[in-house]
Amino acid sequence: MARVPVKLVSWDEIVEWSRGLARKIEESSWIPDLVVAVSRGGFVPARLICDFMDINDLLAVQSQHWVEAALAAERAILKYPYIVDVKDKKILVVDDIVDTGDTLELAKTFIEREWKPSEVKTAALQWISSVAKFRPDYYYIEVKDWTWFQYPWTRLEDVSQFIMRIFREDDRVKGRSIDEAYLKDLFKEWFGVEPGQFGFYWSEALNRLVIKGFLTKEDGLYRCIKCGSR
Ligand code: ADP
């Protein structure tokens, strides 16, 4: 069993899921006037929904997670809480996934309170029903067992973070220099997916981590310089 269950999502699946989500919305006979993407994860699904539902107007609000020092808990906030005149409009707020549910709930509440449209509904490609405290009005896939869905628009970011997680948290690696073959074995063990499945993203991620100064590469061996030593 992988320590972190990861499912690689293809571009084709994203198109299929977005189309399925658009169909569900249409079947409910509710047609939005305006789509609002929750940036950044909701951008691609929101754009595809506009295409499938023939909607012209697409805006975005950006969410961000803040760690509240006193509580050591994460809280979602809107980074640019701008106001627009959308009264009398029906708004569909779209995100990729509802995990905790904080983000979509926050976006919905903000839009209702500050933009005062006639109606706001929410949609996500996926809804993790076992952990979410918020259920979107529309979703395409209900997920029961928590999984990290590796969406195509965050490949480089995710692979880089997965690699760093191994360097930071795996006792077999801390403070050591390791070769790429061993790193690949650990990656498979941790995340349950073969690095080969990520194609060029694997080497791009390693290069990025070296360029950003998180890893060094010497004689073919990688070492983390920001992970502390044993
Ligand atoms: P929400 O508040 O909607 O549950 P979170 O605040 O937990 O979502 O996460 C915000 C963003 O982080 C999501 O829109 C998504 O882009 C990403 N994310 C969260 N959980 C997952 C997951 N299990 N798989 C892939 N991406 C995720």
Domains of the chain: 6-150 (3.40.50.2020), 152-224 (1.10.10.10)
Question: For 118-148, b where at least 16 C-beta lie within 10 A, e where not — what string?
Answer: eebbbbbbbbbeeebebebbbbbeebeeebb
Residue 167 CA to its chain's centroid (Å): 22
pLDDT of 67 reads 67
Q: Which two tokens stand for residue 79?
A: 């980074």
Distance 96 CA to ligand 1 centre (A): 7
Of 96, 97, 125, 144, the residue with max ligand 1 atoms within 8 A of its CB, to mutate for a pocket test, comes to 97
Whether 117 is in the pocket of ligand 1, judged by its Cβ within 6 Å, is: no
Whether 122 is in the pocket of ligand 1, judged by its Cβ within 6 Å, is: no
Whether 32 is in the pocket of ligand 1, judged by its Cβ within 6 Å, is: no
Q: Which two tokens stand for residue 30?
A: 């509710």
pLDDT of 16 reads 98
Q: pTM here?
A: 0.93
User: Out of 76-80, 93-97, 163-167, which region has the weakest mean confidence (pLDDT)?
Assistant: 76-80
Mean pLDDT of 69-85: 82
pLDDT digit string, tens, across residues 116-149:
999 999 999 999 999 999 999 999 999 999 999 9
**CB–CB of 176/216 below 8 Å?**
no
pLDDT digit string, tens, across residues 180-214:
999 999 999 999 999 999 999 999 999 999 999 99
pLDDT of 175 reads 85
pLDDT of 228 reads 67
Strand pairing of 221-224 and 177-179? antiparallel
pLDDT of 60 reads 98
pLDDT of 69 reads 60
Which atom of ligand 1 sits closest to the CA of residue 132?
Answer: 4
pLDDT of 187 reads 98
Which atom of ligand 1 sits closest to the CA of residue 106?
Answer: 2
Burial class from Cβ neighbours inside 10 Å (0-12, 13-18, 19+) for residue 223 reads: middle
